[in-house]
Structure 1
Amino acid sequence: MKWVAFVVLSLFLYVEATNFQPKLHIVTVATNEDNDGLKRLKHSAELYGHELHILGLDEEWKGGDMQNSQGGAQKIRILREGLSEFKEKNDAILMFVDAYDVIINADPDIILRRFLQEFPEYRVVFSAEPFCWPDKNLASKYPVITFGERYLNSGMFMGYAQDVLKILEHGKGLKDNDDDQRFYTSIYLNKELRDTYKISLDSLSRIFQNLNGLTEDVHIDYDLDGNAQVFNSLYNTHPVVIHGNGPSKVYLNQLGNYIAHGYNEKVGCLKCKPLIEIKPEEITLYIAIFISKPIPFVEEFLATFEKFEFLKENIHLLIYNNQPLNKITIKNFIDEKVGIYKSVTALNMKEDDDEHASRDYAIEWATKNNADFLLMLDADAHLTNPNSLQLLIRKALTYNTEILAPMIAQPKKLYTNFWGAVSSTGYYARSSDYLDIVENKLRGYWNAPFVSSAVLISKRKLPQLANAYSYNKEMDADMSFSLFCRNYGQFMYVDNLDEYGFLVPSDQFSQFLKEGYTNPEMYDYFDNHDLWEKRYIHPKYFHYIKPGVVVEQPCPDVYDFPFLSERFAKELIEVMEGNNHWSDGSHLDRRLEGGYENVPTRDIHMNQVNFDKQFLNIIDEYVAPMQEKVFTGFYQRPVKSNMMFVVRYKPEEQASLRPHHDASTYSIDVALNKRDVDYEGGGVRYIRYNCTVPADQIGWSMLFPGRLTHMHEGLLTTKGTRYILVSFINP
């Protein structure tokens, strides 16, 4: 902190030499006290020991829509009326800043020192920007400068109080909806007035930094103590009062995650205080679950949801579903949970129903019922941390983050439920810190321009978000919500201090549905591997694959191991019967190269149902390791297989299969249904060993050598229908 001591000493020497005792007063105009940007300004001012005067809180805003047009002269009137107490104070230096998009990052001594030493010949200094606004025709009338930004910005300025008040007196004839920047520009461009009041611009951003048009040149760096500061690389300066003017507010929010004691390079998150304790029995939580698009593994989502550690009798549930695939699942869930949760309401809608309105209804529902919190939860957000609800609520209360999302990402991908930046067209853009946040190199809670999938909203914020999801119906509902929040100064935060869960990719699943796939989740092996594995791989597989665990050998070199789940077996049969293009059991088979099958069966190949790529990878991931375990020394990866198929045995069709060798290095034969339940008879006999395997445990697979040693036959199915899954591996 040596540099701080130097600053204080320099200011002290200056004061002693001039016998001048300046005092800095920061002033702003705000007619809306309940604004996150104003709260941030107040926090940064208090943090550095500033005296912040907020004027206009008792007034209605009549200064026009400054976000989309000109206006703001009401601020001039309010300043003129509200600052009269400073008329006789020679020692007062006023600094005006806009209320909703400014952050202060230095104490009064540093700001005064820069003003007095960098601008010793001037009494009023305005911030500068690269755009001549609101009238670009005035550009040629600006004084020529050799270096820096040339044009005045009225969002930040400072000067001796008496001079500032004299300037404000020139605005007596303004209407409230006139433009404030046009007024200040007219004063500055009038050479006589400019010289009279000794007005200058902070063209090199020594004190003030306007971000619009300069975001590429303004970054975060750190001082010797590791504290974040703003660095203007264009002018090699460290401005300390930062303004997110115009469309740069999102970038200001990003900088605000670090400055004003937000982040320290050495310590980490400075604002991440110890969490307050809560009493769940005193919190009424409303949760709105949305299944508004094709989403795989909804059953697993609901199972994860059930594991939340929170008093269910204090939770009100609203479930919105417009997907036909999930209607039965949702109905069964609701039927089971009636009486467990405080209330359960279902909105089973049609696919073309208005999702925007339904999400707005959820906010209205929670608002009317005086909810303490509302969690908007999409079914693609699997919050596997059972403490997620308590963590989010405790953080919302501790950090005063009234719109808070847990950071969740698609497994092994960079796609998450938040954006770090927004493009000029209003869509996703990658911020400079996005990867570090996603990869947890930076930990904290972050002001973000877009959050979705899982969003906790506090009681006080709910009424302010009415119709936010319908704010722009040309957009997806979550984008409309975030646009509303950005435009109305409602800060959204994403938290990666804890691990919460993951996002389920759904684009490929949606395509499976469009193409009419039976049991589309069975196909979703690549995009949602871990969920697929838990549902479709036999639960005992991972025990048998462990070193030292004996794999059963019912016949010599015939190993029997649990491979696929009963659900997989059932769904695969449904897929095959849905396809129904069974071969006719003759030697003529146009599916094969050459068109001839030596040992024909009634079967359907995996490529006929578009499952060949998935199943070949499944063999490589689960069967090959088992082969390497039981047949030590043989390794061939990736595995190859041109023959992966389901065989159907029926007494009236094909009841058995003659003795034969498989055209493979090794084969698998998986039972798909149950003997004495679905069929009678069946089994496999290995001729050379005169050994029979019942092959009747669903999902269990025989694994045995192919061509040379293991001639075998399929024994007679005497009743019902028997299904097996066969693959010839490494032919």
Structure 2
Amino acid sequence: MWLYSLIWGSALLSLVDATEVVVVTVATERTEGLKRFLRSAERHGIDVQVYGLDEDWKGGDTRIEQGGGQKIRILRRELEKYADKKDTIILFTDAYDVIWANGLDAVIDRFIDHYSNLRVLFGAEPFCWPKKELAIEYPLVEFGKRFLNSGLFMGYAPEIYRMLSLKEVEDKDDDQLYFTMIYLDEQLRKELKMGLDSISRIFQNLNGVQEDVKLEFDGEGSASVLNTPYNTHPILIHGNGDSKMYLNYLSNYVGEWNVENGCVRCEERRKMEIEDEAAEESSGLPTLSLAVFVSSTPFLEEVLKALSAQDYPKSKIHLFIYNSQPFHLETVSKWAESQKGEFISRTIINVDMETGEREARQMTLESMVTRGSEYLFIINGDIYLQREEALRELVKKSLFYDTSILSPILNQPGKLFSNFWGAIAENGFYARSEDYIDIVNGNRIGLWNVPFVSSPLLIKGELVKEIAPTRPFHYSKDLDPDMSFALYARHKGHFLHVTNEDTDGFLVVSEEFVDDLQKGRLHTEMWQIFANRWLWEQRYLHEDYVKILNGPVEEVPMPCTDVYDYALLSPRFCAELIEEMEHFGEWSDGSNSDRRLAGGYENVPTRDIHMNQVGFEREWLFFIDEYVRPMQEKIFVGYFKKPIESHMMFVVRYKPEEQSSLRPHHDASTFSIDIALNQRGVDFEGGGVRYVRYNCTVPADEVGHTMMFPGRLTHLHEGLPTTKGTRYILVSFINP
């Protein structure tokens, strides 16, 4: 409660001498909207009396039907004690979709300055509802919006109480219609001295005017709300009707984010964590159900490995895996087997065609309730959690921020495509919000209330218990399960929060992978160097390559004059490339006649398959340019050519019974690379390369290592006989 007195000049205003201001709302449920409203009020030092908490709501679903009469009945009951207090101002706001942009001082100042002739003031809006035909009966206003909205009003207690008591109201009667009919009664309007805040000096109803209402940052970086047509800064912002998503957007900033200092609550959390660091270690972590949903996505092995490496005790986790893709059957089976005995329990649905994804997601909700977990963490197979602390930290953030649903912001590396939407278009799909790019790029860091997030989702157990019976993934079967869930959350008032305080990982790009799976390849990830470069490097680049690239040139082995030997490709890449070539199977016959070449003639023929035959030419050219060229520039100083060129890139197969060796020759290149793909003593005997002019032989038997040497002028060389088994090498003639 507030005691308020105002002196204007030397004269004491007779309107208000010593005024008690009581701020009230009605809320039967402790929703996130109510928590936000109360937090917003608290930031401005405002005490709010919440009426009706934990009572059964009988006023209907006002989102889709008329209702709300119960709100009037509760107000009448609770405000009776103020009925005779002439100097008491009652300020009422809706509870679930309102925020404060300023304090009570500003409210009273504007009420007295602009509405001193009124005893009751309502917010205004551009729509007449619930009965449009009543529009003609509304009195005209000089300027601004003409129609009453019942979500925000204030006035002196006797008039407010009388207004609430004029007629009996049933719980399911419409509160908007109740106040509308009073306002349209000219006699009552005059007796109660009712009016509208038509230009939003105090009250801003957003529905229908979102384009007119903007964020504005003051000189200290704090956010306020500006009504641009009227140049006013309203204090109470109401997300009525279809404007709730826009209110969520505004609420991310007003009182919560500052241009200079960033996220207010994030800073509060960091300070508390520093203070509670010692206690945090001993407090323990909540139990959670981990639900993994696998679709057609590349690098699933790496995704699952990163997931199992999370710094969260598996003794507190119930595991649920759903895989709908036969391609991933073996990968999921191996990973699940490797985790045997690690988790409290395991449920694995691996390519069960009778269980669809929507139903499997519903199963995770029901399973979590049965097991009594405190959290449910749903993660899709295209999420790579790069930071081992990601899950632990996300749980801690959820506990501090008291979020029901929380997700880290993740995007595809180097792209704006992410796991959340900042806004939604009229068709129900993606629209780019004003702040989307800044949030994705990390220029604005904070906690954000958004209309859609796909995965991962950290959902509080209390919410799961509430929503599981209502089957949120089935809420709209016309939408994908994740969009159905988000639509359900928006309609039911459950906030979808995302945070970019930490860089927890990224989205694996999977769009092209689905098409690639149809091409009959054995190891489709080999073709993912463009879409998922970092993961490609982790799997296919030799583990020593970066160290060699960044080290001194003197440490690069040179077994023969100007022949350098260094680690380039992982053994896995080499093995998979051999398998791909044998799977393709169209080896040349080793004769001089070669229809693959422009002239149809090969001077130094081998048994080989060209990269363009298996659709790998573009990928391999890129690889040479990005990983071989830097080594060439490091070693052969002074020679630059970017991008590189190569028309001869091929895998050679040597077998004693086929072609075991290659006669001395010069390569048609400025420089060449010759990569060993398999192991001497294991896969073959013999082999190696002899540089004739220098009478120097290189074993060329370290898998994934390449020889790099000058081409057509100086380095005459020959392939020594393979005496047993099969030897494979990968050759590229660069810059012919």
Alignment-mate amino acid for residue 392 of structure 1: L
Using the TM superposition, give the Cα deviation of residue 338 of structure 1 relative to its aligned residue in structure 2, in angstroms: 2.2
Asked if the contact 1:283–1:372 (Cα under 8 Å) also holds between the matched residues in 2, the reply is: no
Question: Which region of structure 1 is more displaced relative to structure 2, 690-699 or 583-592?
Answer: 583-592
Asked if the contact 2:295–2:381 (Cα under 8 Å) also holds between the matched residues in 1, the reply is: no
1:410 is aligned to 2:412: yes
Which of the residues 259, 271, 278 maps onto 2:280? Answer: 278
1: CA distance, partners of 2:9 / 2:420: 47
**Does the C-alpha gap of structure 1 residues 289 and 569 become closer, same or farther in structure 2, counting only changes over 3 Å?**
farther
Which of the residues 162, 184, 194 maps onto 1:199? Answer: 194
Which of the residues 11, 15, 20 maps onto 2:17? Answer: 20
**Does the C-alpha gap of structure 1 residues 14 and 688 become closer, same or farther in structure 2, counting only changes over 3 Å?**
farther
Which of the residues 537, 540, 546 maps onto 1:536? Answer: 540
SS in 1 for 2:280: coil
Question: Which region of structure 1 is more displaced relative to structure 2, 624-633 or 269-278?
Answer: 269-278
Asked if the contact 1:278–1:394 (Cα under 8 Å) also holds between the matched residues in 2, the reply is: no
Asked if the contact 2:410–2:505 (Cα under 8 Å) also holds between the matched residues in 1, the reply is: yes
1:47 is aligned to 2:49: no
Asked if the contact 1:96–1:157 (Cα under 8 Å) also holds between the matched residues in 2, the reply is: yes
Using the TM superposition, give the Cα deviation of residue 8 of structure 1 relative to its aligned residue in structure 2, in angstroms: 7.6
Asked if the contact 1:280–1:311 (Cα under 8 Å) also holds between the matched residues in 2, the reply is: no
Asked if the contact 2:567–2:704 (Cα under 8 Å) also holds between the matched residues in 1, the reply is: yes
Which of the residues 660, 670, 674 maps onto 1:669? Answer: 674
Question: Which region of structure 1 is more displaced relative to structure 2, 192-201 or 716-725?
Answer: 192-201
SS in 1 for 2:728: strand
Which of the residues 182, 201, 211 maps onto 1:187? Answer: 182
Match of 1:295 in 2: 297
Asked if the contact 2:664–2:718 (Cα under 8 Å) also holds between the matched residues in 1, the reply is: yes
**Does the C-alpha gap of structure 1 residues 201 and 514 become closer, same or farther in structure 2, counting only changes over 3 Å?**
farther
Using the TM superposition, give the Cα deviation of residue 280 of structure 1 relative to its aligned residue in structure 2, in angstroms: 6.7
Using the TM superposition, give the Cα deviation of residue 9 of structure 1 relative to its aligned residue in structure 2, in angstroms: 5.6
Alignment-mate amino acid for residue 478 of structure 2: E
2: CA distance, partners of 1:461 / 1:376: 14
Using the TM superposition, give the Cα deviation of residue 178 of structure 1 relative to its aligned residue in structure 2, in angstroms: 3.2
Match of 2:565 in 1: 560
2: CA distance, partners of 1:617 / 1:44: 53
For each residue in 1:258-304, what CA deviation from the matched residue of structure 2 results, as whole angstroms up to 9, or x when unmatched? 22x31233322222222355357743422424233111112212222
2: CA distance, partners of 1:146 / 1:257: 34
1: CA distance, partners of 2:193 / 2:636: 90
Match of 1:306 in 2: 308
SS in 1 for 2:596: coil
Alignment-mate amino acid for residue 603 of structure 1: D
2: CA distance, partners of 1:635 / 1:352: 58
Asked if the contact 2:6–2:13 (Cα under 8 Å) also holds between the matched residues in 1, the reply is: no
Match of 2:378 in 1: 376
Using the TM superposition, give the Cα deviation of residue 598 of structure 1 relative to its aligned residue in structure 2, in angstroms: 2.2
2: CA distance, partners of 1:559 / 1:19: 91
1: CA distance, partners of 2:248 / 2:660: 71
TM-score by length of 1: 0.94
Using the TM superposition, give the Cα deviation of residue 536 of structure 1 relative to its aligned residue in structure 2, in angstroms: 0.5
Which of the residues 38, 49, 54 maps onto 2:34? Answer: 38
Aligned runs of 1:418-497 on 2, under 5 Å? 418-466=420-468, 467-497=471-501
SS in 2 for 1:221: strand
1:682 is aligned to 2:691: no
Using the TM superposition, give the Cα deviation of residue 558 of structure 1 relative to its aligned residue in structure 2, in angstroms: 1.6
1:67 is aligned to 2:63: yes
Which of the residues 484, 491, 502 maps onto 2:506? Answer: 502
Asked if the contact 1:77–1:171 (Cα under 8 Å) also holds between the matched residues in 2, the reply is: no
Asked if the contact 2:30–2:53 (Cα under 8 Å) also holds between the matched residues in 1, the reply is: no
Alignment-mate amino acid for residue 196 of structure 2: L
Match of 2:139 in 1: 143
Asked if the contact 1:291–1:323 (Cα under 8 Å) also holds between the matched residues in 2, the reply is: no
Alignment-mate amino acid for residue 89 of structure 2: I
Match of 1:521 in 2: 525
Using the TM superposition, give the Cα deviation of residue 171 of structure 1 relative to its aligned residue in structure 2, in angstroms: 3.9
**Does the C-alpha gap of structure 1 residues 216 and 13 become closer, same or farther in structure 2, counting only changes over 3 Å?**
farther
Query: Gaps (5+ residues) in structure 2?
Result: none
**Does the C-alpha gap of structure 1 residues 14 and 118 become closer, same or farther in structure 2, counting only changes over 3 Å?**
farther
Asked if the contact 2:326–2:351 (Cα under 8 Å) also holds between the matched residues in 1, the reply is: no
CA RMSD of aligned residues (A): 2.2
2: CA distance, partners of 1:47 / 1:423: 32
SS in 2 for 1:704: strand
Using the TM superposition, give the Cα deviation of residue 515 of structure 1 relative to its aligned residue in structure 2, in angstroms: 2.8
Using the TM superposition, give the Cα deviation of residue 499 of structure 1 relative to its aligned residue in structure 2, in angstroms: 2.3
**Does the C-alpha gap of structure 1 residues 554 and 127 become closer, same or farther in structure 2, counting only changes over 3 Å?**
same
2: CA distance, partners of 1:171 / 1:45: 32
SS in 1 for 2:214: strand
Using the TM superposition, give the Cα deviation of residue 458 of structure 1 relative to its aligned residue in structure 2, in angstroms: 2.1
Using the TM superposition, give the Cα deviation of residue 335 of structure 1 relative to its aligned residue in structure 2, in angstroms: 2.2
Match of 2:165 in 1: 169
1:263 is aligned to 2:257: yes
Match of 1:215 in 2: 210
Match of 1:131 in 2: 127
Question: Which region of structure 1 is more displaced relative to structure 2, 579-588 or 701-710?
Answer: 579-588
Which of the residues 701, 706, 710 maps onto 2:706? Answer: 701
For each residue in 1:1-32, what CA deviation from the matched residue of structure 2 results, as whole angstroms up to 9, or x when unmatched? xxxxxx9865897765446322222222223x
For each residue in 1:202-242, what CA deviation from the matched residue of structure 2 results, as whole angstroms up to 9, or x when unmatched? 11110011111222221222344443221112211110101
Which of the residues 217, 224, 230 maps onto 2:225? Answer: 230
Using the TM superposition, give the Cα deviation of residue 71 of structure 1 relative to its aligned residue in structure 2, in angstroms: 2.5
1: CA distance, partners of 2:9 / 2:238: 29
Asked if the contact 2:5–2:17 (Cα under 8 Å) also holds between the matched residues in 1, the reply is: no
1: CA distance, partners of 2:432 / 2:423: 6
Asked if the contact 2:684–2:724 (Cα under 8 Å) also holds between the matched residues in 1, the reply is: yes
Count of residue pairs brought into register by the alignment: 722
Using the TM superposition, give the Cα deviation of residue 688 of structure 1 relative to its aligned residue in structure 2, in angstroms: 2.4
1:332 is aligned to 2:334: yes
1:546 is aligned to 2:543: no
For each residue in 1:365-407, what CA deviation from the matched residue of structure 2 results, as whole angstroms up to 9, or x when unmatched? 2222221222222232222222223212222222212321122
**Does the C-alpha gap of structure 1 residues 281 and 323 become closer, same or farther in structure 2, counting only changes over 3 Å?**
farther
Asked if the contact 1:557–1:704 (Cα under 8 Å) also holds between the matched residues in 2, the reply is: yes
SS in 2 for 1:392: helix
Which of the residues 587, 599, 614 maps onto 2:619? Answer: 614
1: CA distance, partners of 2:429 / 2:253: 24
1: CA distance, partners of 2:5 / 2:526: 69
Match of 1:569 in 2: 574
Question: Which region of structure 1 is more displaced relative to structure 2, 397-406 or 142-151?
Answer: 142-151
SS in 2 for 1:382: strand
**Does the C-alpha gap of structure 1 residues 290 and 340 become closer, same or farther in structure 2, counting only changes over 3 Å?**
closer
Alignment-mate amino acid for residue 488 of structure 2: F
Question: Which region of structure 1 is more displaced relative to structure 2, 423-432 or 611-620?
Answer: 423-432
Match of 1:725 in 2: 730
For each residue in 1:65-124, what CA deviation from the matched residue of structure 2 results, as whole angstroms up to 9, or x when unmatched? 221233223323333333222221112222222221111233222212211211122221
2: CA distance, partners of 1:19 / 1:421: 44
Asked if the contact 2:291–2:376 (Cα under 8 Å) also holds between the matched residues in 1, the reply is: no
Asked if the contact 1:421–1:431 (Cα under 8 Å) also holds between the matched residues in 2, the reply is: yes
For each residue in 1:675-706, what CA deviation from the matched residue of structure 2 results, as whole angstroms up to 9, or x when unmatched? 22112222222222232222111111111111
Asked if the contact 1:292–1:355 (Cα under 8 Å) also holds between the matched residues in 2, the reply is: no
Alignment-mate amino acid for residue 534 of structure 1: Q
SS in 2 for 1:553: coil
Alignment-mate amino acid for residue 120 of structure 2: V
Alignment-mate amino acid for residue 22 of structure 1: T
Aligned runs of 1:575-724 on 2, under 5 Å? 575-724=580-729
Query: Gaps (5+ residues) in structure 1?
Result: 1-6
2: CA distance, partners of 1:142 / 1:308: 62
Alignment-mate amino acid for residue 253 of structure 2: Y
2: CA distance, partners of 1:356 / 1:380: 17
1: CA distance, partners of 2:691 / 2:353: 54
